[in-house]
Structure 1
Amino acid sequence: MKATRRGVLAGLGVLATPALALGSRDDLRAALDAAEKDSDPASALGRLARFDASALPPGQRLDLLTARAGLALDARLASATGTQRFALLLQQRSGTGVTPERTRMRLTREVGRLTARADRLFRGLGRTQGSVGERYRALFADPQWHYPDSDAGRDQAVADMNRVLAAARARVPALLGPVPPFCLDVSARRLSAAEVAAGRGGYRELPTPEKPGAYVVDLKDIARRPSWSLKGAVHHELLPGHMTQMPMEVLAAPHPLRLRFAPSYAEAWGMVAEQLAAADGAYKRDPLGELGHIHWLLFRVTRGLADLGIHLDGWSIDQARAQLIAWQGEPGYFAPFEIDLPRLAKEPATRAAEAMAWLDLADTAARIRPAVRVRFHQAMLRHGRMRTEAYGDWKRLI
């Protein structure tokens, strides 16, 4: 029997949530639709004023609260300039409690923590010379960890990723609790020859009840994807990362205004998923793989700091590049400096917001007793994306 959206949701317990009368639900949806089309944020907010968020089921409550928060920030952004505009964009893309000052402090602390972890691992491997960034550059350049630049080498890289994926798939129930079975029906595969010829990058095909999903990995410049760097990509892009959160969000069907005003959540979940796999032993007796995991985390955090540096501290692109090299050595595969830094300069607060959405989510989870953390993960997945201020209200999302 073919799985249906309603059947999957019922299996997860989503349909057991107490709800308002159907007319009230339809009224809210109509008001949100009208607010989305309204070019005046203040007027759009007025359309939502009559609804009581506390009386709504979880998904609709998230829709309403997210829309209100985002539209209120839109209204303030209309006349904001300079550092005030950056601060408002940061809040709009992450959460109302995320300020530039708190962001700088939190990201700086995380860079220090990750750098210390990497240093210990490098020393354990006998790599003691140079800064952590310099040691990462040397590790990336070490040919013993490179796949052959051939079809056979790329096939081997994908096979290695799928072996990591098999172990990650087995971890999902203990880490996340029940997820729709089709979320687990995913794999890694190569770009086709035609896609490579067309210059296409890596991409995702989300699973559905009718078809499996895939992370189609870009291995064109395979020397930049050493074997120790791929485990983290599996946990982020596949399981327990995007291939759980994104398909479950499709089922939850958040309103477009929630998609617009909680844009950093998908990446936040992907980063938390990497950390969940690591904490569950994915890198036990694998210091090189753990260094790869830490490098991905450093990549996200230091991009956030570069965002602050460019837009608040007046860094040039060259200054930002030099600092990123000092911190992480090499860029993430899909974000080479020559492409990523000009984009970062054009998109103020985007990378800082992504980093804080992730770290606030991780920090919230860390404050929850391990015995109930799976329930927290269920709450974070079941109804789709949210802003950081919703994390602490997780018990109302179950």
Structure 2
Amino acid sequence: MAPGTGRTDASVALHALFKESDEDSLRRNPLNALFRGDMRYADQLGDMISDAYFDAERAAGERDMAALRRIDRDALSSTDQLAYDVFQRQTELALRALGPDILPLSRVRPIDHFNGIHVFYPDIASGQSAAPFKTVKDYQDSISRHHQYARIIDASIARFREGLATGVVQPKLVVRNVIDQLDLQLKEGVEGSTFYAPLKAFPADIPAADQARLRAETAAVIRDEIQPAYRRLRDFLANKYLPHAREGVGLLHMKGGPKLYAFLIEQNTTLPLSAEDVHKLGLSEVARIQREMEAVKTQVGFKGSLSQFFEFLRTDPKFRPASKEALGNEYYAIGKRVDARVGEIFSTLPKTRLEIRPVPDYREKTDAAGSYMQGAPDGSRPGIFYYNSYDLPSRSTWGQETLYLHEGAPGHHFQISLAQENADLPAFMRFGGNTAYVEGWALYAETLWDELGLETDPYQRFGGLNDEMLRAMRLVVDSGIHAKGWTRDQAIKYMLDNSSMSRTDATSEVERYIAIPGQALSYKIGQLKILELRAEAERALGDKIDLKEFHAQVLMTGSLPMNILEQKIDRWIASKRG
């Protein structure tokens, strides 16, 4: 036992490793600190694209693994063993991503239309995200980040050139979408730019002279650095890169693509699944959900086929929002209904507030129907559920309840906030995570509609099935595109044939899978594992099961790889059975 700590020497060494590793990571990745509300590196955007950055990440991972191996796992408590296993698994996957087989296939494709820096950095700079704009220093830090942002845009061009030389390139579809996004941001000009938005409403205590200086400096960096960098990237992509980009949208058409896709499946699901495993599971789930959809169709008295029912739901005016305001107001009403019941099945509720906002104009065209942005760990910045009101006639009111459960409460907002707020967890478990757990939990949260008193309207129940169908189709379509050679149009048709999605949403979804292969697999795989664990607990414990306690077991130790979550729930079941 280490003197004065109440911990064994092994435990002290483990937590010292976690702390040192986290501190080093924040220095290398300052935006992660910013999202935590840690302002020590707020004037830094980070490198994120150079060989030196990747070398530093790899060296840190190797150092962490060596230190972990020196710690006697058997001398740790069960909680510390859990943390040990998660840290080991996450570090191993990170090192594989940085290895010679995978990194050359990813670093030369630094930007896509879904998650490139040109998409997420404007959010950070907008005054509506993680970066605060309360003091003169906050504004000065933003200007400092803007200078670095322009340099990263130029560095992205160099990475794209490298890909042209090695034959590892993006699909033409992705490149055209990025060009459209850059054109849209260039059209904003200087004072209409998202980067300029925080300058339009200064806090009252910032002196007028400072306001004038900050406006001038911000306008200068937008005009003289960011926009010229955008033009250079846009012109390079249009004139040099696009002619050599690939026609085939799937990774099997890219040099090294099948090897990369196999890794991405494991990285995103945390399970050793093949593309064929994923495809077959998806087909099975699609068939099951179709049977439940048929039951709803019968319940509402619709006489036509399921495909005709889909078309009815897509096109009937009674399912269209009356206005953008009406769409938002219904989400507020759903939120209140969830708040009234959620304490019945959760023992701990987030302290962080949840706000509901429309997707900003500059990214609504290519954004999903809904999304979530995490709040600050101390609750000073709320979590945000974004709903998309672009192309309003394509939006359906019958999908609102399940979307809120997923993106808001008790989905992403609960999972991310409860982990962040748990200061007893090591930082990598509070703030890190894997997609199968994060998205699997959010999709599991959709299945709690009955306990929360939602989806009493059969059309809202159909909306829940439609969203579940989306995640099942993702298994089929993502693997179809990247392992079986499906085209964009083939994938869109499959989604329209098997759901009541609008063509706008189906197109956006398919183009997302093309841009970020494998990520969409995580939702259904993670959900099925959590449902399997709940069913096992219900079988084993019978009347003894407490849903509040089960949810606490799943949620209160942060994001866990699926195999480690399964081991934890098995231990909990055994302890409850005595």
TM-score range, shorter chain: 0.7 to 0.9
TM-score normalised over the length of structure 2: 0.56
How does 1:1-398 map onto structure 2 within 5 Å? 20=8, 22=12, 24-30=14-20, 37-39=56-58, 45-53=65-73, 55-56=75-76, 61-73=81-93, 74-75=95-96, 78-79=100-101, 81=256, 83-130=258-305, 132-148=306-322, 153-180=323-350, 182-183=351-352, 185-190=353-358, 195-196=360-361, 204=372, 206=374, 208-210=378-380, 212-252=382-422, 255-256=427-428, 262-278=434-450, 280-284=452-456, 286-330=457-501, 336-369=505-538, 371-395=545-569
Aligned-partner Cα distance in 2 for 1:338–1:254: 40
More moved, 273-282 vs 291-300: 273-282
**2 CA distance for matches of 1:197 and 1:262?**
28
Contact 1:177 1:378 in 2 (8 A): yes
Which whole-Å CA distance do the structure 2 matches of 1:196 and 1:82 have between them? 34
Q: Which runs of 5+ in 1 are unaligned?
A: 1-17
Is the CA contact (8 Å cut-off) linking 1:34 and 1:44 kept in structure 2?
A: no
Deviation digits for residues 188-209 of structure 1 (CA, Å, limit 9, x no counterpart): 3446xxx437858665454554
CA distance in 1, matches of 2:568, 2:307: 37
The offset of 1:186, in angstroms, is 3.0
1:201-228 residue CA offsets vs partner (Å, 9 max, x unmatched)? 6654545544654424222332222221
TM-score under structure 1 normalisation? 0.79
- In 2, distance between residues paired with 1:59 and 1:393? 12
Determine what percentage of the aligned residue pairs are the same residue. Answer: 18
Alpha-carbon distance in 1 for matches of 2:341, 2:564: 26
SS at match of 2:435: coil
Output one character per residue of 1:61-110: Cα deviation in whole Å (capped at 9) or x when no partner.
45532342244344386437554542332112222344434433332222
How far the C-alpha of 1:259 sits from its partner, in A, is: 6.1
In structure 1, what residue type is equivalent to 2:361?
V
Alpha-carbon deviation of 1:291?
A: 0.6
Distance 1:66 1:211, change over 3 A: closer
Question: Please, what is the CA RMSD of the aligned residues?
Answer: 3.4
> 1:90, 1:349 within 8 Å by CA — same for their partners in 2?
yes
Q: Which amino acid aligns with 2:265?
A: L
- Higher relative contact order, chain-length normalized (CA < 8 Å, sep 6+): 1
SS for the counterpart of 1:384 is: coil
Question: SS state of the match for residue 558, structure 2?
Answer: coil
Instruction: Give 5+ residue unaligned stretches, structure 2.
Output: 1-5, 29-55, 103-255
> Judging changes above 3 Å, is the alpha-carbon distance between structure 1 residues 345 and 254 closer, same or farther for their aligned structure 2 residues?
farther
Q: Deviation of residue 287 (structure 1)?
A: 0.4
Q: Which secondary structure state, in structure 1, belongs to the residue aligned with residue 450 of structure 2?
A: helix
Q: Deviations 1:274-320 (Å, cap 9, x if unpaired)?
A: 10123554223x10000111111111221221111112212122221
Greater CA radius of gyration, 1 or 2? Answer: 2
- Give the secondary-structure state (helix, strand or coil) at the position aligned to 2:421: helix
Deviation at 1:327, TM superposition (A): 1.6
Q: Which amino acid aligns with 2:548?
A: V
